[in-house]
């Protein structure tokens, strides 16, 4: 009887202690801290090289699903006689097992013209946009006419739909495709090269700089056809990519990885873990603020899981090149670039 009574007293004491913890929350020193919401670093990587040399390179990639992705650039291959194929390939399509190469031409003043392709953006399997106005409609590649001239390559594409589509490029290029299918050139207020653009929940931002030329930089806010700059004073060096979750966290990358909770205020950009990498970062993408990938020079590829950063460089290292673009969708990550003189693709599955 005494033993039973003692056990009841202990149980009651523990219950009261638990109730006290729940009531006082963080003020209770014996309550466990809330768990950090993290994602897994456990990616398994495969590396694919494309081309036979001659400075083959991939600039951008778009993931549709676990068995469909497109990469773009220029892939030079030789025929059975040892001659370089002319024109080269500029599109690679992944079916979940292998990459199939295409040479896609665009129509310029009535002529079929080849160009390397720097950017790709996919809405769905039947609606994919490529640089130079090339569009995959589910049946064929078609050229969608531009009504304005562009001075350079299109570095990146982003949009909420085909009738709300932005392109950015060198010399301050920003243009928008509206509901009537007409392109409007937007005055960016800068002659810096616009490297990247990203949008979410009606917020659209781009980054502009002159990599390896100067430390001048801009983060541009785009609202309709109007552009304004947001503070970059606390970022000392060049920037190249941007990704964010609106009103939660904003990230820019380049010579460092920087984060900020509110992008439009004058507050300081936090330099994240400056010791984690010594390499220039070209691209960033994420599923959420606890599941982010960045890639850069010499095969650098980093994952942030909400609590820590992990580098996969030792697993996917390249000797003479860089990963130029990275995309992550669910548990699939694809980074593309070059390991001179070949194009290179790293596929990570979690």
Whether residues 11 and 68 fall in one domain: no
Whether residues 12 and 131 fall in one domain: no
Whether residues 2 and 136 fall in one domain: no
CA end-to-end span of the chain, whole Å? 56
Q: pTM for the complete prediction?
A: 0.88
pLDDT, tens digit, 9 for 90 and up, residues 47-65: 999 999 999 999 999 999 9
The pLDDT score that the predictor gives to residue 47 is: 97
Judge whether 92 and 58 are in contact, CB under 8 Å. Answer: yes
pLDDT, tens digit, 9 for 90 and up, residues 170-222: 999 999 999 988 899 999 999 999 999 999 999 999 999 998 888 999 999 99
When divided into structural domains, the chain yields a total of 2
CATH (domain of 195): 2.130.10.10
Whether residues 155 and 18 fall in one domain: no
Whether residues 132 and 24 fall in one domain: no
Residue 92, C-beta contacts closer than 8 angstroms, at least 6 positions apart: 50, 58, 70, 71, 72, 73, 75, 99, 100, 101, 102, 343, 345
Whether residues 27 and 58 fall in one domain: no
Structural domain of 26:
1-34
Q: Report whether pLDDT(30) > 50.
A: no
Mean pLDDT of 336-340: 97
Whether residues 122 and 231 fall in one domain: yes
Percent of the residues in the chain that have a pLDDT greater than 90, as a whole number: 75
pLDDT, tens digit, 9 for 90 and up, residues 269-288: 999 877 789 999 999 999 99
Mean pLDDT of 160-178: 94
Mean pLDDT of 238-256: 96
Question: With bands split at pLDDT 50, 70 and 90, how would you rate the model's confidence at 27?
Answer: very low
Whether residues 235 and 155 fall in one domain: yes
Whether residues 12 and 48 fall in one domain: no
Whether residues 11 and 77 fall in one domain: no
Whether residues 28 and 142 fall in one domain: no
CA 169 vs CA 101, 118, 187, 264: distances in Å: 25, 10, 13, 23
pLDDT, tens digit, 9 for 90 and up, residues 224-240: 889 999 999 899 999 99
> SS3 string of the chain?
CHHHHHHHHHHHHHHHHHHHHHHHHHHCCCCCCCCCCCCCCCCEEEEEEECCEEEEEEEEEEEEECCEEEEEEEEECECCCCCECCCCEEEEEECCCCEEEECCCEEECCEEECCCCCCEEEEECCEEEEHHHEEECCCCEEECCCCCCCCCCEEEEEEEECCEEEEEECCCEEEEECCCCCEEECCCCCCCEEEEEEEECCEEEEEEECCCCCCCEEEEEEECCEEEEECCCCCCCCEEEEEEECCCEEEEEECEEEEECCCCCCCCCEECCCCCCCCCEEEEEEEECCEEEEEEECCCEEEECCCCEEECHHHHCCCCEEEEEEEEECCEEEEEEEECCEEEEEEEEC
Judge whether 107 and 94 are in contact, CB under 8 Å. Answer: no
Q: Report whether pLDDT(12) > 50.
A: no
Whether residues 19 and 48 fall in one domain: no
CA distance 112 to 156: 23
């Amino acid at each position: 009887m005494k033993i039973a009574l003692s056990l009841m007293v202990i149980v009651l004491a523990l219950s009261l202690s638990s109730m006290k913890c729940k009531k006082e929350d963080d003020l209770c020193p014996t309550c466990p801290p809330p768990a950090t919401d993290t994602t897994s670093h456990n990616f398994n990587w495969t590396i694919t090289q494309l081309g036979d040399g001659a400075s083959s390179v991939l600039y951008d990639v778009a993931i549709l699903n676990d068995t469909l992705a497109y990469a773009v650039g220029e892939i030079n291959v030789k025929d059975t006689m040892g001659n370089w194929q002319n024109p080269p390939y500029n599109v690679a399509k992944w079916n979940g097992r292998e990459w199939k190469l295409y040479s896609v031409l665009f129509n310029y003043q009535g002529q079929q013209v080849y160009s390397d392709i720097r950017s790709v953006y996919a809405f769905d399997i039947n609606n994919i946009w490529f640089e130079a106005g090339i569009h995959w409609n589910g049946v064929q590649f078609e050229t969608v006419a531009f009504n304005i001239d562009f001075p350079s390559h299109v570095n990146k594409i982003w949009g909420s739909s085909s009738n709300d589509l932005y392109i950015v490029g060198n010399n301050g290029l920003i243009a928008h495709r509206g509901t009537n299918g007409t392109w409007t050139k937007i005055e960016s207020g800068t002659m810096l090269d616009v490297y990247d653009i990203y949008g979410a929940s009606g917020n659209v931002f781009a980054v502009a700089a002159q990599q390896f030329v100067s430390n001048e930089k801009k983060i541009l806010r785009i609202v309709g056809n109007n552009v304004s700059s947001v503070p970059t004073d606390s970022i000392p060096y060049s920037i190249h990519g941007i990704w964010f979750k609106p009103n939660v966290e904003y990230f820019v990358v380049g010579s460092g990885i920087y984060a900020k909770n509110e992008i439009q205020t004058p507050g300081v950009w936090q330099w994240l873990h400056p010791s984690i990498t010594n390499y220039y970062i070209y691209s960033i993408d994420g599923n959420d603020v606890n599941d982010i990938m960045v890639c850069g020079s010499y095969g650098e590829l980093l994952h942030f899981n909400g609590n820590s950063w992990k580098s996969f460089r030792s697993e996917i290292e390249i000797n003479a090149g860089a990963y130029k673009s990275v995309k992550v969708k669910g548990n699939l990550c694809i980074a593309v670039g070059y390991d001179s003189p070949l194009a290179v693709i790293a596929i990570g599955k979690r």
